[in-house]
Structure 1
Amino acid sequence: MRLAVGDVDVAEYVTEPEVDPLNGPRPYLHPVRTLAGVEVTDVLPEDHQWHLGVSVAMQDVNGVNLWGGRTYVRDQGYTWLDDHGRIIHAQWLAQAADSFSERLLWLGPQDETLLTETRTVAARAVPLGWELSFSYELSTIQPVTLGSPATNGRPGGAGYGGFFWRATPGPTTTFTASRTGEESVNGSDEPWVALTGPGPYTLVFRGLSDDDRWFVRTGAGGYNGVCAALAFEKTVTVTPDAPLSRSLTILVADGALTREQITA
């Protein structure tokens, strides 16, 4: 289905992707565009074929890889394991031209249900462009632990997992109100983080919760992307009495915005 802001289609949502089981099949948004039509997402890139536009995924869900690619194993590094699951669209809860809500199932290698997700996505016009709101809640009938390569021993701030936006290739910069560059922004908990890319365009991400951190790559890490990481330094457990809820907003703007424009 498509998302529109007024009469402009700004994103396409793929519910049944044709993705190799080793690449973490899951629903995703792609392409996402600015109001002027500049594409701001990438999908199935050669460097990381499990990066799927805008999606939610974790590399360790009770030991199941729902991110795709190799699994990071403590004291071994990235290793191919028979541990891949998938996330599937199960039911529409609401649909409109500018929004939708749905129920998804996070499944293990034997199609066992690990988590149930409720997701709401909407698009609206704002002064600098348009804004994507993306909310999701993970629930379970038994405790489920969410982890990342970092929680499994990988050094270097590789605590990715959760809401992830793979941006288009090309020269890119990232900054917050007080930081500039991947090395400084990655792992921070700033109220917002901006990424500017070729076009030019600017994405401004907001909405970290609890102990979440921004995981950011801007070419120096091999690709361009931003993740609101759930398990950047330590695991997170979802229980029947404590579902995990997150709500993010992303400004999608034409042009290279400045700090002053973002904070005005």
Structure 2
Amino acid sequence: MSEEPVRLTVGATEVAEYVLDPALDARHGPRPYLHPVRTLGGTVVTDALPADHVWHLGASLAVQDVDGSNLWGGRTYVRDVGYTWRDDHGVIAHTGEVERSPGWYAHDLQWRDRAGGVLLTERRWLAASVVAPDAWRLDVESVLVAPDDREIRLGSPATNGRPGGAGYGGFFWRAAADGEPAVFTADAAGEETVNGSAAPWLALTGVGSGGGAYTLVFAGLGRDDRWFVRTGMYPGVCVAFAFDHPAVVPAGGSRHGRYQVWVADGTLDRDAVATLVATVP
């Protein structure tokens, strides 16, 4: 039986739906994901199952190469071959609820290979809080733990030989945008400039399908993480775990991440974004 989606609210406003166990084709990388996510004014700022990349699922954690298993969805990038359909798709499975309240949810997960073998276990926390009259913040915290008897390698198309800064995989947000959005950091702007950077925060401004302007501000890079950004081909931002070299979770060890996304109505400039990021909920 499918779990009912979790609904995150701030005050009386529902701002996000968290789908725990979607019934999806294995090739789409089944995993929990947030969609729709909305501004306080009601503009939807995520997209799920888009025609160009059906395996893009709102906001989620997903990695294309987890010790040889594809937990992202779609074709796998193979060195010296390119993108190839392979029978290597695993699943990130919800295994149990830990705690919930209107603006808070915690649960346990397993990252599994195609045969059901457990690659990683995870505890994940999600929280929603108001930070301004027209903005709220999403916090996603994750602890990934490797088995006691083996290390787990996290890779990307870039680490497997694809050129062009395609180091995606990690905490990924597929945005909803009518037209090409703008993207900037405190000292740079544009996809080509910010992709692969390690700026403390990154902002994306766009217009939703209903015409509402919005701003998303992302933070939470780990020491070796980088921003993966697309605005031309599609609108997406990722805290990339393996942008240009693999990341390793040691045997019996863990990887801890905490990611923040400020979701605001309207189009904010650099100064307004800096002020928003400095706001403590």
TM-score, scaled relative to structure 2: 0.92
Other-structure match for 2:177: 169
Aligned partner of residue 14 in structure 2, secondary structure: strand
1:203 corresponds, among 209, 216, 238, to 216
Distance 1:244 1:211 in 2: 12
Asked whether 1:80 is paired with 2:88, we answer no
1:150-169 equivalences under 5 Å are 150-169=158-177
1:30-77 deviation per Cα after TM superposition (whole angstroms, max 9, x unaligned):
000000000000000000000000100100011000000000000111
Aligned partner of residue 101 in structure 1, secondary structure: strand
1:88-167 equivalences under 5 Å are 88-127=93-132, 128-141=134-147, 142-167=150-175
Distance 2:195 2:273 in 1: 19
1:18 shift after superposition: 1.9
Aligned partner of residue 183 in structure 1, secondary structure: helix
Distance 1:154 1:24 in 2: 20
Distance 1:248 1:26 in 2: 18
Distance 1:207 1:240 in 2: 24
Distance 2:165 2:74 in 1: 18
TM-score, scaled relative to structure 1: 0.98
Root mean square deviation, CA, Å? 0.8
2:33 corresponds, among 28, 43, 56, to 28
Asked whether 1:253 is paired with 2:267, we answer no
Read off the aligned partner of 2:139 and give its amino acid letter. Answer: S
Task: List alignment gaps of at least 5 residues for structure 2.
Answer: 1-5, 276-281
1:60 corresponds, among 55, 62, 65, to 65
Other-structure match for 1:262: 273
Distance 1:14 1:163 in 2: 16
1:247 shift after superposition: 0.3
Distance 1:139 1:202 in 2: 33
1:28 shift after superposition: 0.4
Asked whether 1:184 is paired with 2:193, we answer yes
Read off the aligned partner of 1:209 and give its amino acid letter. Answer: G
Contact (CA 8 Å) 2:151, 2:252: kept in 1 or not?
no
1:240 shift after superposition: 3.3
Other-structure match for 1:37: 42
Aligned partner of residue 27 in structure 2, secondary structure: helix
2:230 corresponds, among 190, 194, 217, to 217
Read off the aligned partner of 1:170 and give its amino acid letter. Answer: D
1:241 shift after superposition: 4.3
